[in-house]
Amino acid sequence: MEPDRRILHVDMDAYFASVELLGREELHGRPVIVGGDPGFRSVVTSCTYEARKHGVHAGMAMTRALNLVPNAVILSGSFARYKTYSNRVFEVLLSFTPRVQATSIDEAFMDLTGTSGGIIKRAREIQKAVYDATSLWCTVGCGPNRLLAKMASNLNKPKGAGLLMPDDIVDLPVGAIWGIGPGTAGKLGMFGIDTIGRLRTLSRGVLRSILGSGGEEIYRYARGIDDRPVRFFGYREPPKSMGHEHTFSHDVSLPEEYMPALAMVCQKTGYRAREGGWLGGVVTLKYRLRNMKRITRQKILASPTDQDQTILQAAEKMARQHIDEPIRLIGVSISHFVPSESAQLSFFPEKTVELNRAADRVRNRYGDKAMVSARSLEYIQRKC
Ligand SMILES: [Mg+2]
């Protein structure tokens, strides 16, 4: 049976250790552990399957690993090489689809929905293409969503390819579900729930009472339901919000008193947005009254921005409209972000872009107060 969404999880096999073995025939078939010097309480970063057979795994203390496999070859690891090979792997994956979401240096989800042909056949093609380009093996799990694809790759390691549909997972232990660690598995075990099939007999309410707010997610995962998208390569999770605030040394209520500070927090916020490569679509003004009551006001912008002046304009308007008694704190934040590179084509550039870019260069060299607007200059002089 072919899934309607065609999601793949590509996971390199014993990645760091395998890269270390490239071109070193003498190490093949030997237990190889990548990690720090055993004398320094270091841990295992990666190890070959020959070492795994003896119970060694990533995250284990190096001294313990050496107790298990005294004749292991210890290598210290060369991160630059792992990055180089990772780039090659992703180049190969991107030749199949732009929907490649990296989840680590050696793992990615791919979305091949809409393509034809058997999905396992596709998985094998990808595996072979990766091997041809790098001499490294990966395992490819397939499923109708990220959850099942990831579970499929875990089950088929190493050098494997496999498909999991929701009905295939009932006999698996609950720990096979993404997000169920040993702690949660132990809790469920106390109720006699050891397999995913048994987990399905619990209602949402019961799961929530055992596992708290995470119970809802586990209820869906137990049924193989997961609608998270596979993002395009290079996608970044936007921050919730970013902003700054200023506490006055004495309460103020007039615009000429609070505007220098407001201009300064807007400048800092705009700078952070530009450095992070985000444009915010909503400006939030917040202030605190004498009685500590916190008030927030929001304004949706015509188009998202990372410009101090635009943020300040919105914040000032709200401040003049709403602040009518003494305040002890003022702050601004922006939220509802889009990446600046995706917006460059779709919005008219703001007049201040070049000015702020030049100012940022000065600030990056000489500090954030080296170049400020006339309005926030007073903030620095007065520092109220
Ligand atoms: Mg891996």
Return the SS3 of 54: coil
Residue 354: the pLDDT is 84
pLDDT at position 347 over 60 = no
Q: How many helices (H) and strands (E) does the chain have?
A: 15, 12
Whether 177 and 119 map to the same domain: the answer is: no
Quick one: pLDDT band at residue 163, thresholds 50, 70, 90? very high
- Residue 114 has which token pair? 């809409």
* Domain assignment present for 229: no
- Reference 86, options 16, 161, 8, 160; nearest CA is 16
* Domain assignment present for 227: no
Residue in the structure block whose two tokens are 């000489």: 366
Q: What is the pTM of this model?
A: 0.70
Are 306 and 273 contacting, i.e. CB atoms less than 8 angstroms apart?
yes
Return the SS3 of 358: helix
CATH number of domain containing 56: 3.30.70.270
Domain final position from 120, 143, 163:
163
Whether 377 and 259 map to the same domain: the answer is: yes
Whether 99 and 63 map to the same domain: the answer is: yes
Residue in the structure block whose two tokens are 């003004």: 285
Average pLDDT for 12-37: 92
| Cα–Cα distance for residue pair 275/286, rounded to 1 Å | 23
Whether 14 and 159 map to the same domain: the answer is: yes
Q: How many angstroms is it from 211 CA to the middle of ligand 1?
A: 29
Domain that holds residue 349: 241-382
Whether 5 and 143 map to the same domain: the answer is: yes
Burial of 23 (0-12, 13-18, 19+ CB in 10 A): exposed
Q: Which of 20, 50, 107, 217 is catalytic?
A: 107
| Cα–Cα distance for residue pair 340/72, rounded to 1 Å | 48
Q: How many angstroms is it from 24 CA to the middle of ligand 1?
A: 20
pLDDT at position 345 over 60 = no
Q: pLDDT per residue over 70-98, tens digit each?
A: 999 999 888 899 999 999 999 999 999 99
Where does 22-106 have alpha helices with state H? Answer: 49-52, 62-68, 79-94
Average pLDDT for 335-354: 75
Distance linking the first and last C-alpha atoms of the chain = 70
Q: pLDDT per residue over 237-293, tens digit each?
A: 899 999 999 999 999 999 999 999 999 999 999 999 999 999 999 999 999 999 999
Number of residues that make up the chain: 384
Whether 41 and 178 map to the same domain: the answer is: no
Quick one: pLDDT band at residue 378, thresholds 50, 70, 90? confident
Whether 115 and 8 map to the same domain: the answer is: yes
Q: How many angstroms is it from 216 CA to the middle of ligand 1?
A: 28
Q: How many angstroms is it from 47 CA to the middle of ligand 1?
A: 11
Domain final position from 153, 187, 222:
222
pLDDT at position 170 over 70 = yes
Number of domains in the chain: 3
| Cα–Cα distance for residue pair 169/195, rounded to 1 Å | 9
Is 350 catalytic? The answer is no
CATH number of domain containing 187: 1.10.150.20
* Domain assignment present for 130: yes
Whether 155 and 197 map to the same domain: the answer is: no
Q: How many angstroms is it from 192 CA to the middle of ligand 1?
A: 32
Whether 21 and 140 map to the same domain: the answer is: yes
* Domain assignment present for 148: yes
Whether 323 and 346 map to the same domain: the answer is: yes
Whether 251 and 137 map to the same domain: the answer is: no
Domain final position from 163, 190, 206:
163
* Domain assignment present for 233: no
Whether 55 and 12 map to the same domain: the answer is: yes
| Cα–Cα distance for residue pair 191/183, rounded to 1 Å | 13
Quick one: pLDDT band at residue 348, thresholds 50, 70, 90? low
Residue 5: the pLDDT is 93
CATH number of domain containing 370: 3.30.1490.100
* Domain assignment present for 235: no
Position with higher pLDDT, 203 vs 381 = 203
| Cα–Cα distance for residue pair 110/125, rounded to 1 Å | 13
